[in-house]
Amino acid sequence: KTDLLINLTKEKQEKESERMQHLDEVVKGIQQRKEELDTSVVQQQREIQALAKGVVTDSASIQQQAEELTPLSEGLEKAAREQEELIHRLQKELHEKQVAFEEAKRQLAESDARLKEASKELVETKEQTAASKAELSLVKGELLEITKENREKDVKIGLLDKKIKGVVAQLEESEIKFKKAASKIDELTSEVAACNELIETLTEQLEEAQENKRGRSPSPSFFK
């Protein structure tokens, strides 16, 4: 948009310059024409004076020539006034065009300043983008390094997890063996208790039998 504005402004300036040059040429032509008319009037006046001096006796002729020259002089004066009015009008238009031209130059200067500011901001943005890209590359490198470390940690964690599972399996197996041993111990304890009860029963029976034997007075050879 800024380039388009600059091009339009330059094109407008060129057209205004051409038009102003044309107006200058027109004004110069009008001024030259006015000078020619003024010269013609002066020449006519000189001729009138010469005729007046040369033909003093011919008053009728002089009067006739004066009457003929008077309308011509009035016409020349009218034409001169019209030319002067045209010059003033053209000068006014030229002034207006100059004001418009100066305004266009001012707008162009402002547009150029905005363009420079935008270019400066663009350069700063590019620099910031380059810095951000460099920082992003650095962060990516760090991220890759962290990812590598995490993978190594994952491998170690996997090995530890495998070892832990092995230990857990061993613990479960040991627990099963412990439960079996405890069950065996319980069985043996029950058997021992049964044996103890049997021993006590047999002991009581033996004591009772011994008492019974004592009551029957057995022979001494029985105890040998």
The answer to whether residue 207 sits within a structural domain is no
Examine residue 186 and state whether it is found in any structural domain, yes or no. Answer: no
The domain in which residue 122 lies consists of 2-141
Q: Indicate whether 217 pLDDT > 60.
A: no
Measure the CA–CA gap between 181 and 187, rounded to whole angstroms: 10
Cβ pair 30, 86 in contact under 8 A: yes
What one-character-per-residue DSSP string does 66-103 give?
HHHHHHHHHHHHHHHHHHHHHHHHHHHHHHHHHHHHHH
**Does residue 178 form part of some domain?**
no
- Give pLDDT, residue 62: 53
Cβ contact 20:97 at 8 Å: yes
Q: Is residue 161 part of a domain?
A: no
Compute the distance between CA of residue 118 and CA of residue 112 in angstroms, rounded to an integer. Answer: 10
Quote the pTM value: 0.32
Residue 187 lies in a domain: no
Token pair in block for residue 40: 């013609």
Q: Identify whether 120 is part of a domain.
A: yes
Tokens of 222: 């029985």
pLDDT tens string 154-194: 888 888 888 888 878 888 887 888 788 778 888 888 888 88
Instruction: Select from 65, 37, 40 the least CA-distant residue to 51.
Output: 65
- Asked if residues 111 and 12 have their Cβ atoms less than 8 Å apart, the reply is no
Q: Give the model confidence (pLDDT) of 81-112 as tens digits.
A: 887 888 888 888 778 877 777 776 777 677 66
Q: Which of residues 114 and 222 earns the better pLDDT score?
A: 114
180 located within any domain: no
160, part of any domain: no
Helix (H, G, I), strand (E, B) or coil at 1: coil
Q: Give tens-digit pLDDT for 32-65.
A: 877 877 777 667 777 767 665 665 555 666 566 6
Task: Report how far residue 97's alpha carbon sits from residue 22's, in angstroms, rounded to the nearest whole number.
Answer: 12
Domains held by the chain: number: 1
